[in-house]
Amino acid sequence: MTGRATELKLFSQTTARLRAAQKSGRFAEIAEALFQNRRVWTHLAAEVADSANELPSTLRAQIFYLAEFTEHHTRAVLKGEADVAALLDINTAVMRGLSGNSGAAPDAASQPQPADRGRETVR
């Protein structure tokens, strides 16, 4: 499995777990999924901050910014000030980029479902 395929699989699993936790409405499950998501983004931020990383500097900066946003938004979700929708959207966009598909997520399970849109607030 390539590095890109591994990253795609990790984001897919993390996003599915975050979506399932959000649907459950159980705070402990949501907090655990948020922790896992934060670990993924922290690792990614460390990778793009490494001067040996071969990605273009603009892309590295954008990924680092998304990691910072994810950290901030995760804190807001845990305080009950935000919902997980933005985190799901970011992860889905990253998965599209990793899969080389700018029009759709790699699998239907990781795609936000229209019926879920009104129930994304976690408080």
Q: Which of 45-49, 61-65, 71-75, 103-107 has the lowest average pLDDT?
A: 103-107
pTM of the model: 0.78
Q: What is the pLDDT of residues 26-60, one digit of tens each?
A: 999 999 999 999 999 999 999 999 999 999 999 99
Q: What sign does the dihedral 84-90-92-98 (CA atoms) show?
A: negative
HSE of 92 in the Cβ direction (CA atoms, 13 Å)? 19
Measured distance CA(19)–CA(101) in Å, rounded:
21
Q: What is the pLDDT of residue 100?
A: 87
The pLDDT tens digits of the residues spanning 114-123 come to 333 333 444 3
pLDDT at 69 over 80: yes
CA 122 → CA 34, 43, 117, distances in Å? Answer: 12, 25, 12
Domain boundaries, the chain: 3-101
Per-residue pLDDT reduced to its tens digit, 75-93:
999 999 999 999 999 999 9
The identity of residue 109, as a single letter, is: A
Cα 27–14–36 angle (5° rounding)? Answer: 60
